[in-house]
Structure 1
Amino acid sequence: MHPRRLFICGTPLQALLIERIIELESLSKDECILFFYTYSINDKYAHAYERICPLFHEAHHYFCDNKYPGYARDARRLFSNLDYQAVYFASAISSFVLLALSCAQNPEIVTFDDGTANISQNSLYASKYGLTLKKALALALFGNRYHLQRIRKESRRHYTLHPGSTNNISDKLVPISIVGSLRESASDSSCSLILGTLFRDAFPSMRPGEIQNRLCKFASRLRGDVFYLPHPRSGESWLRGIRTIDTQQVAEEVAVDLCDRYGRLDLYGFCSSAQLNLGSSERIRNFLLTADGHITNLHTMTETMNRAGIKPYGIIDLDLLHSGNGAPES
């Protein structure tokens, strides 16, 4: 009989990685239990849950109001009544993860990336224990026996999007990509995806609409099918002349679907974390966009990419395009 495996998921990106891990390990539905938690009512999170739920024999969707001790009591009760021998998770300092580990008898621990937090030197995952004294004492009342140091020591393997970088959780790294290999695609064509940003925040010195006009001008130079994905909080629902994707999917999931459809993808963005998460795929060419006032973000992103062993395919300055100096075509 195969051991029962508890997967703990807290974000849409984690859901995509869980989907790939189950595929890579050839796990059956009967082996897998899902605990999916959210802190807000969010359509993107609901979509992520619905996407991976069919992969599990048993699934629990928990809305956390972040009020102690209610959520800790609920988690302790739930995990104590579940039968599992292995725990898979990304959020290594989540109360739910720590309590799930503590409710099992010496469970096998398998970790995976939580976005860029695993390679950022400023992340809490880079700290020694990852818990404040207050949180540690609060969870101890519910039987918690785990912290970051113990998780690092006991993790059997760690699935990472960034195998070329030092990982804050483990050195037992197993490379993983959200996007399947090119040989898994039925097509070898390509398309372009432009990721939106919070334009007013990113370019406060520009007149409203100015950066969008430059982006439209740039997009008109691209060959083939071009798509635009607005930032979920931008309020910008479209760009003139570009096909807009209206979806509850996160950027990484949209990229996966386009790769499945076209085979290859040229990805353009203003130093989006999604570009970093997708950077190791052989099927994606990563282009970083920049303009006046955005240089600091560009430097930060390129440094992070270098640490992750990722090299952008190109850096495109929209100011140069606006002045008539041109930009590369895909």
Structure 2
Amino acid sequence: MVVGIKNFNLFICSTPLQMIIAEKIIITNRLPSEKNIIIVLHANSNEKYLNYANRLKKLAFEMFYFSMDFGSSRIKKLKHHYKIKNFLKCNFSNENSYDVYFANINDMTISQLCTMINVNRVFTFDDGIGNVNKKSIYFRDEKNSIQNKILRWIMGIKEKQITLKGKIFKHYTIYDGLDNIVKKEKLIPLSIWPFDSDLNKTKGVREIKKIFLGQPFNELGVEEQIIIKNIKSLGIEYYFPHPREKNKIHNVNYINTSMIFEEYIYNEIIENTDTSYEIYSIISSALLNINELSLTERLSVCYLYTDDIKKQYSDVYELFDKMNIYSIKIR
């Protein structure tokens, strides 16, 4: 059980990007490791997850993992929340208070955590493009099914998305200049992959590396053959796969790394000063995440679209256009 120090920092993360942002917050604010507790909620654990979790673990004195892989099973979900309840009773003292940091304001596990512990202040940070997309779940009223209402009653979960949103003290954002889930005076810009004049240093560009960011095209309603045809016509030779992709694209070089794309490309630009990079995707949020890097002369980003998909995801493409991301119509 945590004893001694009265106030702790509790970080709750569920994606590699969230873990990178949490790492940056800790380092920027010089939060001492002996006060930091990490809870990782994961739907599936893979190499990237473990890479960033192990990195973040070095900045805390305790880290806990909980699997969220219960799908649509009501029994598994109920068991999960009982597990969280028992965990909190055994490991968190009501004598202590906690500054809580998290991204997913709509997550019931986070609502349960914030209900059961003595919360001092609530800090939030970006989950991704959903924070700046006004049509995302973060900007809509929470829909409580009968199943969730029963679960909340059984577990005594009082906090909801709307109440957590109202308690946010400050919000850390990687999307400086864009509206977010809180008022502007509560926003704290956080530069994870900053543009630096050193990134323009070059020995003379000898190679242009074209990379396509993969996505689960079947979920987007995009025909894979259209993607393959345009990868070929644009002369794209490298492919960065998405974890949920089922099919493999042939005749391209797959990039296999334990890093997420944003960090991978940042390191590439620093290390390969004789190379320029062109990044292509359909609707990947990574295009927005690395947009600051496009200030360097050695990186350009571009989204590909069809009329149908641009209509379907108009809110996301409007953000891309607002950030002056180049576009190409494909057929």
**1:118 paired residue number:** 131
Q: Is the 8 A contact 1:34 1:60 kept in 2?
A: yes
Conserved 8 A contact 1:265-1:285: yes
Whether the aligned pair in 2 keeps the contact of 1:6 and 1:84 (CA below 8 Å) is: no
Deviation sequence 1:181-210 (CA, Å, 0-9, x none): 425769557854321344566543x8x4x6
Q: Which aligned pairs between 1:105-254 and structure 2 lie closer than 5 A?
A: 105-129=118-142, 131-132=144-145, 134-169=147-182, 171=184, 172-182=186-196, 192-198=210-216, 203-204=222-223, 208=225, 211-219=227-235, 227-235=238-246, 237=248, 240=251, 243-254=253-264
**2:101 partner SS:** strand
**Residue 46 (structure 1) aligned with residue 56 (structure 2):** no
Question: 1:74 corresponds to which residue?
Answer: 83
Q: Residues 242-291 of structure 1, C-alpha deviation per residue, up to 9 Å, x if partnerless?
A: 54311343333333433443477542212212212333444553211246
Gap change, CA 1:219 and 1:197, over 3 Å in 2: farther
Task: Find the residue that maps to 1:158 and give its secondary structure.
Answer: strand
Q: Answer yes or no: is the 8 Å Cα contact 1:118–1:169 preserved in 2.
A: no
SS of alignment partner, residue 305 of structure 1:
helix
Report what 2:35 is aligned to: 31
Structure 1: stretches of 5+ with no match in the other structure: 221-225, 320-330
Q: 1:115-158 deviations in whole A, cap 9, x for unaligned?
A: 12222333222134564454244234333232222222221111
Percent sequence identity over aligned pairs = 22
What SS class does the counterpart of residue 8 from structure 1 fall into?
strand
Query: Taking structure 1 as the reference length, what is the TM-score of the superposition?
Result: 0.78
Return the match for 2:26 from 22, 28, 48.
22
Query: Are 1:88 and 1:112, in contact at CA under 8 Å, matched by a contact in 2?
Result: yes
Residue range with higher mean Cα deviation, 112-121 or 279-288: 279-288
Checking the alignment, whether the CA contact within 8 Å between 1:2 and 1:31 is kept in structure 2 is: no
Matched, 1:273 2:291: no
Query: What is the Cα deviation at residue 72 of structure 1?
Result: 1.3
**Contact 1:65 1:71 survives alignment (8 Å):** no
Give the structure 1 partner of residue 267 of structure 2: 257
| Aligned partners of 1:102 and 1:144 also within 8 Å | yes
Two-structure CA RMSD over aligned residues (Å): 3.3
**Does the CA-based 8 Å contact 1:216-1:239 persist in structure 2?**
no
Q: Confirm or deny: 8 A CA contact 1:178 1:278 kept in the other structure.
A: no
Give the drift of 1:237. Answer: 4.6
Q: Name the CA distance, whole Å, in 1 between partners of 2:119 and 2:53.
A: 28
TM-score in terms of structure 2 length: 0.77
State the secondary structure of the residue aligned to 2:27: helix
1:141 maps to a residue whose letter is: I
Question: Which segment drifts farther, 268-277 or 287-296?
Answer: 287-296
Q: The residue matched to 1:165 in structure 2 has which SS?
A: coil
How far did 1:102 drift? 1.7
| 3-state secondary structure, aligned to 2:41 | strand
- Aligned pair in 2 of structure 1 residues 217, 163: CA closer, same or farther (>3 Å)? same
Gaps of 5+ in 2: 71-75
Distance (Å, rounded) in 2 between the aligned partners of 1:186 and 1:79:
49
Match of 1:159, as an amino acid? Y
Matched, 1:100 2:116: no
The letter of the residue matching 2:242 is H
- Quote how far apart the aligned CAs of 1:91 are: 0.7
Letter in 2 for 1:70: K
User: How many pairs does the alignment contain?
Assistant: 307
Greater shift after overlay, 135-144 or 32-41? Answer: 135-144
CA deviation vs aligned residue, 1:9-41 (integer Å, no higher than 9, x gap): 111221222122222222232221110011234
Taking a change above 3 Å as real, the CA distance of residues 59 and 258 of structure 1, as seen in their structure-2 partners, is: same
